């Protein structure tokens, strides 16, 4: 199964390191990041989980819940958490889903048979409060992800949702943004009374709304 941007993220029930959840109920109107790991007790995964644990306050600040997934059982997850704390200097502070039967991996298309027919690739799904998929990224098992980039993407997605702006290449929070083309100049004047810089009729640059004024 392949889920695409704008699709409702598949719901599921699963055991996690923090108890059993139903995914849509767990989201509860928040933004959410679901990310998969090939296997417990592997080196790159250990560093990734430590990185997310350290960044959890940043996800919290954005009203975003994080949850990991691996095809191993909960008992293995809990044992692995000790290694993560020992080697990465931070305790696991978000749930890890157990998916030993690979049911959730199948729902989300996390297993790519030509890469490995049993282990999940490094997939990331950013899901909005409306339960719709806003972003998906897929890395090979050998490459650790940049979770600062995931935070940057969430900043951009939330700006678009709240202020009708898009973000240019290499944008970072606090920099200028672009008024979305679907907004007419008349509509833009209502949203951005301070004005904007027109580089082309379709390219209107404005200070990030939260920073303007």
Question: Taking a C-beta distance cutoff of 8 angstroms, is the pair 6, 87 a contact?
Answer: no
Question: Taking a C-beta distance cutoff of 8 angstroms, is the pair 145, 139 a contact?
Answer: yes
| Token pair of 162 as six digits | 């709240």
Task: Count CA within 13 A, CB hemisphere, residue 66.
Answer: 26
Which residues participate in catalysis according to the annotation? 45
Distance CA 128, CA 7 (A): 11
For 82-118, b/e burial (b = at least 16 CB within 10 A) is eebeeebebebebbbbbbeeeebbebbbbbeeeeeee
**Separation of CA 122 from chain center:** 12
Question: Taking a C-beta distance cutoff of 8 angstroms, is the pair 57, 43 a contact?
Answer: no
| Among 73, 101, 91, residue whose Cα is nearest residue 15 | 73
């Amino acid at each position: 199964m392949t889920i695409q941007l704008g699709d409702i993220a598949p719901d599921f029930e699963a055991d996690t390191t923090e108890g059993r959840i139903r995914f849509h109920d767990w989201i509860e109107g928040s933004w959410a990041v679901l990310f998969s790991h090939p296997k417990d007790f592997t080196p790159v995964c250990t560093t990734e989980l430590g990185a997310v644990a350290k960044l959890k306050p940043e996800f919290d600040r954005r009203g975003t819940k994080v949850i990991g997934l691996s095809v191993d059982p909960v008992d293995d997850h809990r044992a692995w958490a000790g290694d993560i704390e020992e080697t990465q200097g931070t305790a696991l502070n978000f749930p890890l889903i157990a998916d030993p039967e690979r049911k959730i991996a199948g729902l989300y298309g996390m297993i790519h048979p030509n890469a490995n027919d049993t282990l999940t690739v490094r997939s990331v799904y950013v899901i909005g409060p409306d339960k719709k998929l806003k972003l998906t990224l897929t890395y090979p098992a050998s490459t650790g992800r940049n979770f600062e980039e995931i935070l940057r993407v969430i900043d951009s997605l939330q700006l678009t949702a709240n202020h009708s702006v898009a973000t240019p290449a290499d944008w970072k929070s606090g920099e200028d943004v672009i008024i979305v083309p679907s907004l007419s100049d008349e509509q833009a004047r209502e949203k951005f009374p301070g004005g904007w810089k027109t580089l082309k009729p379709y390219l209107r640059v404005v200070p990030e709304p939260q920073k303007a004024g």
